[in-house]
Structure 1
Amino acid sequence: MDELVERLSAEGQKAVAGGPGPSVEDLQRRITEMRYVFIKFPDTRGGRLSPNSATAGSR
């Protein structure tokens, strides 16, 4: 598994799902209609996924 994926999926890692207006309705619409969800990891320092990351471009 990619190191980034391991760190972000570790137990106790905070994750916030949503978009510009995070609500249950918006989350459901993103899953069912748009087929993607924004996920923010607030306790990280930021950065970008590598194009070679296990999660980049996966569906």
Structure 2
Amino acid sequence: MARPQMLKLPEVLNEIDMSRAAFYRMRARGKAPKLIKLPNGQLRCRRADLDAWWERCELSAA
């Protein structure tokens, strides 16, 4: 079974065109895509979680 694609935080920020500070404010409000903290402290986002977040954004904007 293939492992899910994991995106680094800078890749996520680039894709959603958002600054790190704005992303963390959104995350504090519970509105950001789900992140996974690795044992070394780095953050990752599953591609599926980011795609699901995009869909929720589209539905709430409609």
Normalising by structure 1, we get a TM-score of 0.32
Bigger share in helix: 2
**Rg larger for:** 1
Normalising by structure 2, we get a TM-score of 0.32
Bigger share in strand: 2
